[in-house]
A and B are shown apart, each in its own frame.
Chain A
Amino acid sequence: MRVRVNPIECTAQGLCAEVFPEWIALDEWGYPAVDGQPVPEQLVKEARRAAAACPVLALKLSQD
């Protein structure tokens, strides 16, 4: 599974980074920088929570 931000939808609310700080950091303007590597098994639950936490559903999970 990989995590991706749709940068057009993203409005820098920052909930994803709050929920999943191991994988997502906010830049100085409040926008998420996401590790593009596959998410290790033990963090998949956090990834799902982060995607669910985004108020505009800008955080996408892909199964590849």
Chain B
Amino acid sequence: MRLITDSGPSRQEHLDVHGPLPELGGAQLLDLVDAAGLLGRGGAGFPTGRKMRTVAAGRRPVVLGNACEGEPASSKDELLLGRHPHLVLDGLQVAARAVGARELHLAVHRDSAARGALDKALRERRETVTVHDVPGRYVASEESALINLINNGVAKPMFTPPRPFERGIGGRPTLVSNAETLAHLALIARHGADWYRSVGDPDEPGTALVTVSGPGVRHVVEVPTGWSVGALLTQAGLTDLQAVLVGGYFGTWIPAEQARGLALTHRDLKAAGGALGAGIVIGLPAGSCGVLETARVAAYLAAENAGQCGPCLNGLPAIAGAVHRLAVGPWNDRSMADLDRWLGVVAGRGACRHPDGAVRFVLSALNVFDEDVDRHRRGRPCAGVHAAAVLPVPRPPVPGRAA
């Protein structure tokens, strides 16, 4: 595969496998990235070339690599940084050259297991990269939160506009790119646009890293874009499933049979009412309780609000509390009207997309697990409430209360 190889992390091993990074000019690189059709791999899937051109047009731009990986169910960026740091760092260099930036920054989760490998790789290189340690909170790795941390020491999202590409680090236009996006850039600079487009979906080409999880399963695979979700699940041994969560905790639940037939592209998943997000696929076995799993994650998302915006800091704990009571009781069915109201009134009213993602996630659960929801509402929870937890949640939050 392209990004994930048997190569060790040292610079020499990296160069042995991939060859040297060619010295291409900024304008040449911009054309190259446009032609390759690279889409950002941090979740939004925005065309990288277009983002770069906007930043390149600004005064004294800077680049910021985002290797924070706030999603608990994602491991791809940590894997890249730990095993192939020079791919990420080459990509950062390429991005800087493309936009005309003289300053390179990299944001990493404070407790990342890959930090040692990153530091070692930096010592093997000549360019200066300022590494920023980011607290492991869910919203801390949001792009405006990274800028806020770097500028003001506060890892909380900011009100936008202006977005980082307009005014970011030190008020300068800042290109924020996911670690995997940077890794692809490192190879596009070497092998060109045609090479990049030679695999994957014609409209969203290349390969993508996907973290696949389920009972007893947690691994990262590199697949051509457009790969079948069903093939991913079968390869992982995840067979007896009731539903699949695609896109992480801001993503959506999809019934297992429907999910198996979907292709891993932004386009396909959007058409199915979902999203690709940062390439996260979680299989929920038939014996689990979708409502309880959703309640646990909703509580986590509620506890992870930044405490800045009223609708989110009030609404998410209320939503999480209701879903928890629906899952394990005590449930008063009048609460359903409250839950519906909260789910309708919170999205779009925060400074960042945290409440929107949480709402989308919970709404998809109520939709996909509708039969189970009905049973729970009538006071007959399924046996799945006793099953082992499947969705990874970093620390046990208290449902109904914000951190």
Contact = CB atoms under 8 A, between A and B. Distances in A.
Interface in A6-46: 6-10, 12, 27-31, 33
Interface string B312-347: 101100000000000000000000000000000100
Given A27-B345, A33-B345, A6 B311 contact: no
What is the interface residue range for chain B against chain A?
Answer: 10 to 19
A10 B310 contact: yes
B46 interface: no
Contacts of B159: 6-9
B129 to A, nearest CB: 30
A29 B158 contact: no
Contacts of B135: none
Contact of B349 (A9, A28, A33): A33
Contacts of A8: 158-159, 308-309, 351
Contact of A31 (B158, B311, B351): B311
A5 B308 CA distance: 13
A8 B311 CA distance: 10
A9 to B, nearest CB: 7
B243 to A, nearest CB: 31
B45 interface: no
Given A7-B159, A8-B159, A9-B159, A31 B308 contact: no
A30 B351 contact: no
Nearest to A30: B310
Nearest to A5: B349
A8 B351 CA distance: 7
A27 B345 CA distance: 8
Contacts of A7: 159, 308-312, 349-351
Contacts of B312: 7
Nearest to B350: A7
Q: Give the 3 A-B residue pairs with the shortest CB-CB distance, closest first.
A: A31-B310, A7-B309, A29-B314
20 contacts: A6-B159, A6-B351, A7-B308, A7-B310, A7-B311, A7-B312, A7-B350, A7-B351, A8-B159, A8-B308, A8-B309, A8-B351, A10-B309, A12-B310, A27-B345, A29-B315, A31-B310, A31-B314, A31-B349, A33-B345
